Structure 1
Amino acid sequence: MNSIVLFSAIFLLTFSGSCLAILDAFSSSLDGSNGGYSLPKSVNNYELHDSCLIELRKQMNLEKHASLVYKQMAFHFGSVKVVRPGFAKIFEHHSNEEHEHSNKFIKYIDLRGATIDSFNITMPQKTSWTRVLEAVEDAIDLEHYVTNEIIRIHRIAEKTCKDIHLMNFLENDFIDEQISSINKLMKLATLLRSIGNDGYGEYLIDRDFFNGKLSLDEL
């Protein structure tokens, strides 16, 4: 009887030791001490990757630049020498939108715990336009450029920064709006081309924009 008890005790101790050894080996594999799969102890997904932060600061300045370009267009077409208040109102609206876009980037950078560093805004190179169509075509080129830069940042966020939150921010707050804005401006350009060099036709369209009888959403 004593032999049976002794044998049982030895068996239990041996079995317990084997289980502990297995658990120790599994724990070591998680820690990576035995060259197994290891989980990072701390991953900081809050702070912006340096590559993405640099690009966001550039885009912040680009949006400010776009705002100034549209502001210059609004000044030009609203001046006493041109008198196109309807188109001046359209360009003023676009200027305010681009200013708000820049502020969104500033707020997002702050949200992610970074700083805006400093502003480096390029001033508009062009200050006057012969016809409204010329300004609208310049606006389309500008919107294409701004959109392409946002998409480029999105790719960097995906490939380099691995930043899902930044990707969602760009998709939800900018990309759809950019595509819509280009579409409206392209329709406006088509309308203006249809009247040719008819200054009176341009005047009638301008008057409808100014009086609220026509908007870009209705084209």
Structure 2
Amino acid sequence: MYAFVVAIQPELNPRFLINMKAFVAVTLATLLAVVYGADVDVCHSSVLTACDGREGGEVACNSLHGGFKHAERDMQSYVNSQLATSYDYLLLSTHFNSYQKHRPGFEKLFKELSDKAWDNAVNLIKKITQRGGVTNLNEKHEIPSTISRGKQPSLEVDELHSLALALDSEKKLAGDAQRIHRRISRLDKEEHYDPEVSHFIEEKFLEEQASTIRKLSGYANDLAKLVSVPDPSLSVYLFDEYLQKQ
């Protein structure tokens, strides 16, 4: 009898286990359907339709979360602002690189500002994509650049006025970053709150722009004092040499 039980045990065990696994799987599926069936924003509840590109895919199976969607449009507008500002700085840089002006220090300053604004735009696009948004550079937002707002001033300006234009532009960019930060830091509206984007704006933009504003304001005030003489040509030349070494 003992031998008989040992002989048939190997045949019964696998079938029993298979049946048990099937029972557990069906039970779990039923429970999950009950739990998630009413929640259309959960990926699992619509996994068959949400993740294969059919209707509903943009609702559930994506990286959108937190309050990002409430700041997405402002962030895309901010991309446009950074790109337009980069272009304006590039024009200023080439203006001071001409044989008439020949100010290598000012050329270097505005080329660095142009590169910084371009890199900021790239980082913003990466962040928007990471958080599930889509950057559409063809979409029209508000007029982006301070230098280009309203009656566009000529970019063929003297050294002091170029610093003033750059300072105004950086202050506008800082204000735009503060508006995005304020929108996603509202603790009174949970759907707007997004600490990850808030930290990104603080670390990558607000701190850096505060430093740039301080530097440009110092340059503008120093140069304003240097040119307040009957013949400021030597003062401007020496100031340009100073900028080359920064």
* TM-score with structure 2 setting the length: 0.64
**Match among 142, 158, 182 for residue 155 of structure 1:** 182
Structure 1, residues 50-102: CA drift from partner, whole Å, max 9, x if none? 32111110001101011011111101111112111111111000000000000
DSSP 3-state at the match of 1:128? coil
Alignment partner, residue 47 of structure 1: 64
Amino acid at match of 2:182: R
Query: For 1:126 and 1:100, how far apart are their aligned partners in 2?
Result: 25
Aligned residue number for residue 83 of structure 1? 102
Deviations 1:6-44 (A, max 9, x none): xxxxxxxxxxxxxxxxxxxxxxxxx9xxxxxxxxx9698
CA distance in 2, matches of 1:127, 1:89: 20
Aligned to 1:13: none
- Map of 1:54-203 to 2, 5 A cutoff? 54-119=73-138, 120=140, 124=148, 125-159=152-186, 161-197=192-228, 198-203=232-237
Do the aligned residues in 1 keep the contact of 2:89 with 2:114 (CA within 8 Å)? Answer: yes
* Contact 2:77-2:144 within 8 A present in 1 as well: no
Give the gaps of 5 or more residues in structure 2: 1-34, 36-40, 44-59
| Matched pairs, number | 173
2:48 aligned residue: none
Q: Give the TM-score, by structure 1 length.
A: 0.72
Q: Percent identity?
A: 25
Alpha-carbon distance between aligned partners in 2 of 1:61 and 1:126, rounded to the nearest angstrom: 19
Q: Is the 8 A contact 2:89 2:113 kept in 1?
A: yes
Structure 1's unaligned 5+ residue stretches are 1-30, 32-40
- Map Cα deviations across residues 88-139 of structure 1 (whole Å, 9 max, x no partner): 1110000000000000100001111221022458574344344211010111
Cα RMSD over matched residues? Answer: 2.4
